[in-house]
Structure 1
């Protein structure tokens, strides 16, 4: 049975519009069975998955971390304030320098925690193309046109299946802090012996 793909199914998509000035664009190309993303090379035979997905900020985790930090900072500040008060009473000293320094440090720590919270909560979801390998490496790029990334998946699959295929396109580097986003899938394993729920980052 002849299995042929519909015409144009794996055609190389047209290049996207030129990135705006200041954007961190990078070349993505396949040459001699290697996928190059900027200066990083990935052997095509080591690629296990090519897919597009929405990279979502870890907003709930950021709120929980902020509340945890706030509780710790205030607990330590109140404990040191009480300790400073007892020490002041015992030594008949009226100086509150220690208490002032404690609360200045606490306010500075709370300010930093609020800044980190605002960065994560205000972050926008990103539509990205991910290239996973059989090892721990993963290449993630983005583009202003989501449909272009979807077409690029087909182009990469075509290059993996056809040894002579070569192409070059322009994409954008993903400039996010990985700690602030959910990467990949969450996989839970049930049954068997000794299995543990695992999260793939």
Structure 2
């Protein structure tokens, strides 16, 4: 069986093409600010995002958008949790007050445990709230598949991501297209951000099967 020679990916106008051949734009140069880099490449009908492979025929959409934190939801959740914690604490305080009529020493121990637990729970809620309120927005390139997964990467230069959309989309239509660039991993907590209905995000923490609340 004869092997097909590898064809270098070249910009339009720098190679001769047979009639009907797709004119694929080259991927943009990687900006110098990129850190935590991973490979984004198309090879043999696969889109590789780091070590994750996505068949090009399964890709349904490629787009860029701003990933924003769930600040409103985090604030409402904090208020609900605070109300619940204080309600339980005051309720147990009333119970401890009734118990004090029979045994004051026991009531004092119950009150100490109740309010130490309440303070610890409130501190946890405050930390979670500020982790969302202080989370930055990220401009990302998203690749949706026909399944429930989405691959996401980011870059210090938003234009770099915008320019990557066309080469990926045209690679879906052109079986011979190949390219290789470097981008940045998306290192965020998915529970702090809006992602859509269902995603499996590559490059984050706790990143399996996030559902939109």
TM beyond 0.5: yes
CA distance in 1, matches of 2:69, 2:41: 29
Task: Give the conservation status (yes or no) of the 8 Å contact 2:49–2:151.
Answer: yes
**Aligned equivalent of 1:12:** 27
Deviations, residues 50-83 of structure 1 (Å, cap 9, x unaligned): 0000001000000000000000000000011111
Counterpart contact for 2:99–2:107, Cα < 8 Å = no
Distance 2:123 2:212 in 1: 32
Structure 2, unpaired ranges of 5+: 1-18, 198-210
Q: Deviations over 1:2-61 (max 9, x none)?
A: 9999x8x72321122253xxx422111110000000110000000000000000100000
Q: Distance in 2 between matches of 1:68 and 1:200?
A: 19
SS of 1:17's equivalent in the other structure is coil
Q: What is the alpha-carbon root mean square deviation over aligned residues?
A: 2.3
Matched residues, number? 182
- Aligned 8 A contact 2:67 2:137 in 1: yes
8 Å Cα contact 2:69/2:193 also seen in 1: yes
Shift of 1:92: 5.0
Structure 2: how far apart are the matches of 1:29 and 1:62?
Answer: 36
Among 103, 106, 109, which residue is 2:118 paired with?
A: 106
Aligned residue for 2:64, secondary structure, equals: strand
**CA distance change for structure 1 residues 200 and 68 in 2, over 3 Å: closer, same or farther?**
closer
Q: Deviations over 1:102-129 (max 9, x none)?
A: 1011001100100010010111111000
